Every structure is written in C-alpha cells, then in structure tokens.
Amino acid sequence: MKKELFGKINDREVFLYTLENSHGMKVMVSDFGAVIVRIFAPDKDNHAEDVCLGYDSLEEYQRNGCFFGAVIGPNANRIGNAQYTLEGVTYHLDANDGANNLHSHRDLGVHKRVWDAQEKDGGILFTLKMKDGELGFGGNKDFGVFYEVTENNELRITYDADSDQNTVINMTNHCYFNLDGHGAGSIVSHKLQLLASAYTPADAGSIPYGEIAPVAGTPMDFTEPCVIGERIDADFGQLKMAGGYDHNWVLDNYDGAVRKIAVVTNGSGSRTMEVYTDLPGVQFYAGNFMKKEPGKGGAVYDYRGGLALETQFFPDTPNKPQFPSSVFGPDRHYHTTTVYRFI
C-alpha cells in the first residue's frame, strides 16, 4: 500500500493511502476526515477514470463546504430543529441548516478531524474517539471506518462504532460520483435505478413529515432504470422544494443483510456502478446546489456536476419513532457495510 504525505495540520502529518487491485482500480483515501480523494474506476474496456469529485490539496478539504468524499458522523443528514430527546434527555445540536442540524457539524464533525490509521487485511482502518457530549451527542464513542478494494472492482466501506451509553449514530460517505470522469460536466444523462418502492416526503427544510410514500406514478420512481434528467425538473412539489432530487428513498428488502440497492450508468453506457448496503435508506442527491466549485486538476464542478448516493438511516430518525432506529449503545454495536462496485 502506498502512503504519501498530504500535508500538516497543527504540526500533525496527514497522509494519503492508495488501495488498488490487479484490474487497474485504484482508490486514494486520507486520514483527514477519512475522506475519499480519488476513485480510478475501470470501464467496460478496462480504461480507468477518476470518477470521484474532490480537491488536490489538504487545505481545500479543510474547507470542503460540499462534503466531497467525506465520512459523515456521528449523524448524517438532518435532524429537525437541531434537537432530539432520548430516554428523557433532550440533546441540542448545532443549528447549521436553518433551524435544523445537517451532518452533525460543518466544522467539527468527523469529516474535519484527523483519524488514526492502520494498514489491516489489505485495506486501511481509520479510527477516532469522541467524548460524551461532543457536538451534542451523548456517550463516549469509538468510531472505525475500514476501506478495501477487492478483485471484483469494489470499494467496500465498513463502519463500526461503540458507545458507553445509548446515543444516535448514523454514518455515511458523501462521495459525489460522475461516471464520465470527475470533471466531465453534468450527470443528468446518467441512468439510475433505485430498488426502492417508497420514499420519505419532506418539508421545505428537507425534514421528513414521517410518512412512507409510494414512488409509483411520481417522478421519484426509479424502480426501473431512468435517465436522471428526464424528470428532475418536473412540476412536482417535492422536486420544486429541493431544486431537484435530494431525498431519502426507503430501500426494499431491508432485513440487515447487504443487498443491491442501486445501479448507475453513464450516458454512453461505458461505465456502470452498483451500490450495495445493509441499511434501510439512501439519500440520492443530484448536485442541485453546486455552483462553480474549483476541483481537482483545474476542473470546475458546476450545477449537477456529480451525484451522491448516501446510504443511511432516514433523516430525522431520532424524532420519528416510526422510522428504523438509529440508537446504538452498550447493548447494540453499530456495524454497517456499503459497497460501490464498478462493472
């Protein structure tokens, strides 16, 4: 495994680690934020292209307002009114998205911290500790994120966490993909299939109302492959509210086992990515709020220049007892796997 200096933060060295297989797939990750910096993924002709939006420098990742490639935690996505009550105690979070909390904290979440790194079993394990009460979340917590690249052209991400008291844990990776290459322009010509018969409609702050709504007969229906741009600007209230797709889909066949939940293919059909997870939801975000963000190699990432498929527990789950629980603690270890496979 190649290890190279990426920069320094407060005199602490930060590194890039390169994982690769024998088929030309290569993934570069950093111990800063456990962030994914590059994914060189082969196409049908075995031509590898970097399909992950991101930056060239550590300094840019220290800003990273778009959360490119970042591990998010302790809680991904939104919590309404930046608070939740657990076992009679109300926890107050940073109101950083209007009145709501988004991705735990923009500057102090796990995506802005330097993790400890250990080469293990052909992959890289990043670990991090967080004290009881930090960012408004209870429990002394130990986080682990393990990256590996398999001979099946998979990037496998395994998340683990332990807490000495019950708390909310809901981690994800916020990688943005463009299967034509990270600087190739809009992803609206990509074709997407989501194995999800329902989604969670949300209010103007993207907080779910709490209902599970069928996708059938709506522009939210990706149960069969559909070009992303075909209906993204449809006259449909949920799309107008979010400026396009930025919603949680309720994945079919949720039973705690890893199963295929999504397939993405670029417009030419030359590169396909399958997504697998054991989680109940996925946030499909079509880059609706991207605006001329300078990226790697002089690229400029503009409107809808990348898409994210963030596997997760549903947004605002701590305030929605009808949603699958994201409470973990001494009697419930957090362990989940997400796989991005390129074919």
Q: Is 182 one of the annotated active-site residues of the chain?
A: no
Contact 341, 265 (CB under 8 A): no
Which residues does 203 contact at the CB level (< 8 Å), separation at least 6?
Answer: 209, 241
Which residues does 230 contact at the CB level (< 8 Å), separation at least 6?
Answer: none
Rounded-to-integer distance, Cα 98 and Cα 151, Å: 44
Rounded-to-integer distance, Cα 113 and Cα 104, Å: 13
Rounded-to-integer distance, Cα 88 and Cα 103, Å: 23
Neighbours of 54 (CB within 10 A): 27
Rounded-to-integer distance, Cα 321 and Cα 159, Å: 23
Contact 311, 282 (CB under 8 A): yes
Strands 123-130 and 300-301: unpaired
Q: Is 134 one of the annotated active-site residues of the chain?
A: no
Query: Exactly one of 49, 148, 154, 310 is catalytic; which is it?
Result: 310
Query: Exactly one of 174, 182, 190, 247 is catalytic; which is it?
Result: 174
Contact 169, 326 (CB under 8 A): yes
**Residues catalogued as catalytic:** 174, 310
